[in-house]
Structure 1
Amino acid sequence: MDYIKWIRSYVGHREIILNFAGGIITNEKNEILLQLRTDKKLWGLPGGVVERGESVEQAAKREVTEETGLQVEVDSLLGIYSAYFDTYPNGDKAQTITTMFIFKTAKGELTVGDAAETLDLKFFSQDNLPQIANQQHKDAIQDFFSEKRGIYR
């Protein structure tokens, strides 16, 4: 079930609260994997909406696999980022609450999965980050590189 389409069929573009899950995947150089998003044409962390009946861990792992081709396991909790608001290109508005994990890659090969959401995937170093899609992801990336854990904002 596509939760966002379902809820939007009732509320239109009005501001709602949406729960997301995603996080940080690194390579051997401690570079982080970013996804070039189709909606904003900007980079962000892999992840997506929590569907009804899913835990945030299940949603994060599912979304990462759908978007990157990688199957991941949670290494630790980076934080919960809840005081953020976003407006999407189609006019939808939401307060976004995102549970961010730090993942370890279990298996798989990096491939652009869902072409409806992902234009490209690349690893970036802390010193070479592209423009990030929203403040929530900027804060999570900064927290990761600052070695902060258990964040709640």
Structure 2
Amino acid sequence: MADYIHEMRALVGHRPMILTTAAGALLDDQNRLLLQERADTGDWSFPGGYMEFGASFKETCKREYLEDAGIEVEPIKLLDLFDKDFYTYPNGDQTQLITALYLVRQTGGKPLDHVTNETTQVKYFDLNHLPKLFNEQSKKMAQAVIEEVNSWQAD
């Protein structure tokens, strides 16, 4: 979590905050989706995270993807903007998450092969057999990826 978020939380405690985030959807050559197993909840989610003050959505996506998954990515298409989702973290922090989800392509790095403070593991999943996702927003994001892939197959 960014220092900015820690500073804001020190001021407001667990009260509701609107937070901007960015995440990436990376597909392999079999159109399987790379997800991260979260260290805080054990659920799976898209690699991504909070925007730091002064950063753009694309910069945030690239930085967070590298931190969460070990992979350098380039955002190639904004799939959707999710702006009406609420979540209370296990520590009690209440949020409205505004998330830009990008389709990304790998430009370097390799999937994490060790546990970090945010990620237990990363793994590719078939879009028809996704694991338990982190929250409702993650489910909506997965649906956006499925719709994108289905549009390719319709062309």
Which range, TM-score by smaller chain?
over 0.9
Counterpart for residue 19 of structure 1 = 20
CA offsets 1:85-106 (integer angstroms, 9 cap, x no match): 0000000001110011000101
CA offsets 1:28-84 (integer angstroms, 9 cap, x no match): 110000100011110000000000010010011000011111111111001100000
TM-score normalised by structure 2 residue count: 0.91
Gaps of 5+ in 2: none
Aligned counterparts of 2:43 and 2:30: Cα–Cα separation in 1: 23
- Per the TM alignment, residue 112 of structure 1 is displaced from its structure 2 partner at its CA by 4.8
SS of alignment partner, residue 117 of structure 2: coil
SS of alignment partner, residue 120 of structure 2: strand
CA contact (8 A) 2:62 2:72 kept: yes
Counterpart for residue 39 of structure 2 = 38
RMSD after superposition: 1.6
Counterpart for residue 104 of structure 1 = 105
Are 1:51 and 2:52 matched, yes or no?
A: yes
Are 1:2 and 2:30 matched, yes or no?
A: no
Q: Which runs of 4+ in 1 moved over 2 A?
A: none
SS of alignment partner, residue 140 of structure 1: helix
Where do residues 104-143 of structure 1 align in structure 2 (5 Å cutoff)? 104-112=105-113, 115-143=116-144
Compared with structure 1, are the counterparts of its residues 80 and 113 closer, same or farther at alpha carbon in structure 2 (3 Å cutoff)?
Answer: farther
Counterpart for residue 67 of structure 1 = 68
Q: How many residues align?
A: 149
CA contact (8 A) 1:87 1:94 kept: yes
What amino acid is aligned across from residue 103 of structure 1 in structure 2? V
Where do residues 70-89 of structure 1 align in structure 2 (5 Å cutoff)? 70-89=71-90
What amino acid is aligned across from residue 136 of structure 2 in structure 1? Q
CA contact (8 A) 1:23 1:60 kept: yes
Percent sequence identity over matched residues? 38
Compared with structure 1, are the counterparts of its residues 114 and 7 closer, same or farther at alpha carbon in structure 2 (3 Å cutoff)?
Answer: farther
Aligned counterparts of 1:100 and 1:37: Cα–Cα separation in 2: 18
CA contact (8 A) 1:22 1:60 kept: yes
